[in-house]
Amino acid sequence: MATKEYIVALEISTSKIQGAVGINGYDGTTIIAYAQEPVKGFISKGVVRNIDETGRCISNIINALEEQLDGESIEKAYISINGQSVRSIKTSIVTEFPDYTKITPYIIEKMALENDEAANIPADYQKIQVITQEYKLGGDPCLTPIGMSVNRIEGNYINIIAKNQFMRQLEESLSIAKVEIADSFTAAKITAEELLNDSEKRDGCALVDIGADTTTLTLYSNGILRSLCVLPIGSDNITRDLAAEHISYEDAETLKKHAGYKHSSLSNSSIKKELLDKIISARMAEILQNVNHRIKNSNEKIIYAVFTGGGSQLRNIEELIAENIPGIRIRIATNPLAEFSINNEHKHKDEISPILLGLIKNGKQNCCHEELYTGMQDIFREEDYNNQPTPAPNTDHNPQTETKENLEEEYALPTEPEEDEEEKTIETPPQKQKKRKASSISIRFRLFTRKVNRAFKSILNGTMTYVNNATKTEDEVNFDDTPTENK
């Protein structure tokens, strides 16, 4: 039986699918299971291309997690939503009052419903998350307006949407693995909660997540999420250009990760150092210049730029960032610390992505199957019906309420009306055995039902006796089981 709240998280990306199980406690989040599998072309730019292969991959991860949980059955998981199909739509809802009115939770909820209707969502998209930015009371920004008295309130919202096709394909892949979606969160929002500090969010920060096929840009200012966009370019472009120089894709990926930009030397490589630097510089400039363009067009005051994702781990990438995004403070984010121990074996914390850790922290419901009481299975095991004789009636009951005749009538085997010898048919041994088995099952079920009823009656009678005695005087209470004599 599951006695702990196991939170299961799945991160589906272009390069790999990761899964983790954690427990949220007073002392933080503890990761107790982790598994991953590489993606070999069946997911591209965060979009599922092959449903069957994705489902098989997720199923393998779920099986691996269950083995680490000592047999617990995973039924649902928290999912991160990312990829090229994700985008955001801003809306503004204004409510005016004839006189100064105190803002109540009902007014806030009503504005949220109006936002659902006002958001101009394209027909092929669906809303996956709504983020309240801020409220303006007479032009002054406010995050908690409840209780304030105003005659006008404006609510600003960001609606995160994704393509219907993307969501359907994701759900079908999960159904193959027999996993339900407990809830879904925007990957960029979860990552920002884990990696950005309060001062960065307040002063103005751009969170840049450079993935394999996409780059996600999230802007914060005054502690509020201002915009979110996904660029269809990533660090995998570097690998493809290197592979075009007559080396395998795997060797190109290894060269990109371990050599990086302006490395001192390249040993055992067919590509010259100058060519490697040229390819990395050109492709990273393409990504970073797009990011810089989006930051400038946002009209937000951005002081910091925090980089995360696999593409941000290239050697000497800080030099490329400074060249393409000048006048900004740069920080390469590292994964937040998380206790990570599986079967008493310590794992490196970098294996757990910020998205997985954030999903587990945001999880509220147990994702594993809670085993019910299995005593019923011991009572109604089929092999008992075939191997054990029919038990005698249980007589551990009150003889004042039930007579011997009633017991004999209740536990008697069902009988068939007598028939003429001419009309009787000869039953084969299998038919007789089948009838005996059915009768045995029926009697066993009635016996068990009677025991349960007797137990409940005993508990109920004991409770009622206590209640009745509580209302009597001390002289009236008789705790002796034997009947009293009439006075």
pLDDT in tens, 137-153: 877 888 889 999 999 99
Residues 202 and 118 in one domain: yes
Q: Which residues of 368-379 are buried (b: 16+ CB within 10 A; e: fewer)?
A: beeeeeeeeeee
Specify whether the backbone of 376 is left (phi greater than 0), alpha (psi in -120 to 50) or beta.
alpha
Q: Which comes out higher in pLDDT, residue 349 or 170? A: 170
| pTM, two decimal places | 0.70
Mean pLDDT to the nearest integer, 43-53 = 84
Tokens of 242: 């290197």
Minimum mean pLDDT range among 23-27, 38-42, 102-106, 397-401: 397-401
Given a cut of 70, whether residue 192 has pLDDT beyond it is: yes
pLDDT of 391 > 80? The answer is no
Q: Is the pLDDT score of 479 beyond 70?
A: no
**Residue 8 is assigned to a structural domain of this protein:** no
Most confidently modeled range among 97-106, 241-250, 405-414: 97-106
The span from the CA of 151 to the CA of 144, in Å, is 16
> Looking at the structure, do residues 392 and 299 belong to the same domain, yes or no?
no
Give 29 or 101, the one with higher predicted confidence: 101
pLDDT in tens, 395-441: 444 444 444 444 444 444 444 444 444 444 444 445 545 444 454 55
Domain-located, residue 405: yes
pLDDT in the model for residue 385:
41
As a whole number of angstroms, the distance between CA 230 and CA 208 comes to: 10
Q: Mean pLDDT across the stretch 179-194?
A: 91
> What local confidence, expressed as pLDDT, does residue 483 receive?
46
Give the pLDDT of residue 476: 45
- Strand pairing class (304-308; 7-12): unpaired
Note the pLDDT of residue 174: 93
The pLDDT assigned to 349 comes to 53
Same domain assignment for residues 335 and 296:
yes
Q: In this predicted structure, which of 184-198, 275-289, 389-403, 445-459 has the lowest mean pLDDT? A: 389-403
Arithmetic mean of pLDDT over the chain: 78
Same domain? For 392 and 297 the reply is no
**Is the same domain home to 352 and 242?**
yes
Asked whether residue 341 falls in the same domain as residue 281, the answer is: yes
Least confident of 78-92, 122-136, 154-168, 460-474: 460-474
275 and 159 together in one domain: yes
Domain of residue 447 covers 375-415+426-465
pLDDT over 70 (residue 86) = yes
Indicate whether 392 and 352 sit together in one domain.
Answer: no
For residues 182 and 288, membership in a common domain is answered with yes
Tally of structural domains, the chain: 2
Residue 452: pLDDT band (50, 70, 90) is low
Q: What's the per-residue H, E or C state across the chain?
A: CCCCCCEEEEEECCCEEEEEEEEEECCEEEEEEEEEEECCCCEECCEECCHHHHHHHHHHHHHHHHHHCCCCCECEEEEEECCCCCEEEEEEEEEEEEEEEECCHHHHHHHHHHHHHHCCCCCCEEEEEEEEEEEEECCEEECCCCCCEEEEEEEEEEEEEEEHHHHHHHHHHHHHCCCEEEEEEEHHHHHHHHHCCHHHHHHCEEEEEECCCCEEEEEEECCEEEEEEEECCCCHHHHHHHHCCCCCHHHHHHHHHHCCCCCCCCCCCCCCHHHHHHHHHHHHHHHHHHHHHHHHHCCCCCCEEEEECHHHHCCCHHHHHHHHCCCCEEEECCCCCCEEEECCEECCHHHCCHHHHHHHHHCCCCCECCCCCCHHHHHCCHHHHHHCCCCCCCCCCCCCCCCHHHHHHHHCCCCCCCCCCCCCCCCCHHHHHHHHHHHHHHHHHHHHHHHHHHHHHHHHHHHHHHHHHHHCCCCCCCCCCCCCCCC
pLDDT, mean of residues 105-131: 89
pLDDT tens digit sequence for 306-350: 999 888 888 889 999 999 999 999 999 877 755 555 544 545 455
Residues 405 and 307 in one domain: no
**Residues 6+ positions from 137 with CB-CB distance below 8 Å:** 145, 148, 150, 152, 153, 154
The tens digit of pLDDT for each residue in 263-316 reads: 766 666 677 888 888 999 999 999 999 999 999 999 899 999 999 988 888 888
Four-point Cα dihedral 467, 470, 476, 477, nearest 10:
70
Q: What is the pLDDT of residue 104?
A: 94
Q: Are 349 and 406 in the same domain? A: no
**Residues 210-232, mean pLDDT to the nearest whole number:** 91
Residues 244, 346 within the same domain = yes
Sign of CA dihedral 246, 251, 257, 261: negative
